[in-house]
Structure 1
Amino acid sequence: MTTHDIAVIPGDGIGHEVTPAALEVLQAAGRRHGHGFTFTEYDWSCERYLREGAMMPDDGLERLRRHDAIFLGAVGAPGVPDHVSLWGLLIPIRRAFRQYVNLRPVRLFEGIDSPVRGHIDLVVVRENTEGEYSEIGGRMNRGFPDEMAVQQSVFTRAGVTRVLDYAFDLAARRGGHLTSATKSNGIIHTLPFWDELVRERAAEHPGVRCDSEHIDALCAKLVLDPGRFDVIVGSNLFGDILSDLAAAVAGSIGIAPSANLNPERDFPSMFEPVHGSAPDIHGLGVANPIGAIWSAALMLDHLGLPAAADEIVAAIAAVLAKGDIRTPDLGGTSTTTDFTEAVLTHL
């Protein structure tokens, strides 16, 4: 049996509820294909920050580097500013391990009521390490009437090109259609540069139909006609917004998975549900585990087990299609454990 070494960071809030569910399903699917997992759990979280003044220890990245992959539950808690928790854990991991692709599949499963009409099966590819989420900038004249804040975006040829190539390759394997999110009519430097690189890479991928949409119009079209999209690629900020919007269009942000990928595999990749720590329902046992379970499937695919990954997604689909087990965010009364056990039974 092949064994994979996984770092596990449950994090905060419902991360402690959905992470065990995802790992249980991960183990069950892996066993069916002769693969096992060892888990090393780290208590890096807002609770640790309040206790010790840091989200993770100084050698945290070195510890993670030894693992085959990282599974993260959620980050964020009342009492700790979001920029502190995010920049203290999630973003350093993404950047140190060059996880420049944030992959977010979106699908409308049978049995889920969507607020919009139409077929939905798309993937958002988000640039994950630069763009609008840079560290360049600062504050001046704090507390005075002329107080100001400056935030610089960073778009590099290397950074944009590599995520575009990933998106074009993915589109070629799927429906052959790529949509680029831009705003080059209003943002004068970075987004025209993005558009230029999109045209360059499109010329290298003649088999993929490529179009560009301004981000505001794209959001509207994603609501009005989501079935027209296959692969959407965007900058760090645009990809972040679009993937959450698409998840809501597909029924609930609770079902949305994500993968932070280092495609070259020089460093471990990280997998996490999109939904966040949801402190309002933490401890009630009703958190939707689909986003975490689907993220575990993305991990399996990355580890070279696509058949096992497909079986997990098929099990999720089967349970939802049956319709009798669903968590409150999907209009049901089932618990996290109820849904997890139903997926395990199907597997």
Structure 2
Amino acid sequence: MLRKSLYFIMIVVLLFILLPVSAFAQNYYFTDTPGNINSPLNHLTDYLKAPGDSVTVVIDDGQEKTTYYYSFVSKGTDSNGDYVIANYNIDYGFDKDSGQKKIYVPYVPHKIGTITYTKKDVGQITEDMLSVKYVNDDVQILGYLEGLYTDVNVISIDKVNGVPIRQTQYWYFANFLPQSERKYLASRFIDGTAYEWPSIFYTINVNGKNIHPEQLGAMPYIKDGNTMIPYRALFELGFGLSEDQVVWNGSDQSVTVTRGNTVIKLQIGSTTAYINGKPYTMNVAPVIKLDRTYIPLRLVSEGLRYKVNWTPDPGERAGWGTVDISDN
């Protein structure tokens, strides 16, 4: 009696082991035509999901038939994504081939938000922002914004996820130049002579501390090889100087900054800077842009006895790079 019971249990266990392969296995059969982009052969992982699953596809061009047969072996994940291992047999009619193949599961993007912008000669557009494999969603949103920001045909970025951009954490992407100036700068960039977009792509560190774009109030940019930056962002946020040490004079549009025994005076539109009363010629003059006073970063930093190091983007993307400012 005991022996019969053990046999019964073994049979039941064996049936449960075989059940996923036999009872639930899916065997798919398709006929297809050559060149069909929607062929099941292009998305086999839609069908090969579990032990016992198989796919047979017969390609018929009206004269000859080729039969493709794939059967599930196992699945896994590596640095390239999820995959299925499948055995395959291919009958070309005049020849045959067989073996084993790793088939990667196609990445299906998901919606990460919407973006609304205005484009020249088109008007306002609202688009879905889609995820990218191996890219963080927040980074991908920045990628969308950066692409629009440097597109000469985009007049403005208006909303992110239906919220006016100035009310979001991405407010600085609303700091657009006039369209005429954007076209001018883009034309100069084409021949490689300048890149003057106000840019959120610069990383500026002072003694290892990052000055975040939101703290700048307006974005730095490069003019004739000089990094231009809002002066209060540099002096007060970067160098930690007080309002008494950074004085704006509206009558002659000048700014005077004092650090220790060093006094620097700069004037809008003038390429002459005065350091402790001694004149120095700058390559570019301070300028008012986007309602901010921009000054050349290197001269005033080095004039205040800071060391400045510029590291361009490793990928050589124009308008990207890192500025490290430190005490000597």
Task: Output the TM-score relative to the length of structure 1.
Answer: 0.25
- Per residue, is there more helix in 1 or in 2? 1
Which structure has the greater CA radius of gyration?
A: 2
Using CA pairs below 8 Å that are at least 6 residues apart, which structure has the higher relative contact order?
A: 1
Task: Output the TM-score relative to the length of structure 2.
Answer: 0.26
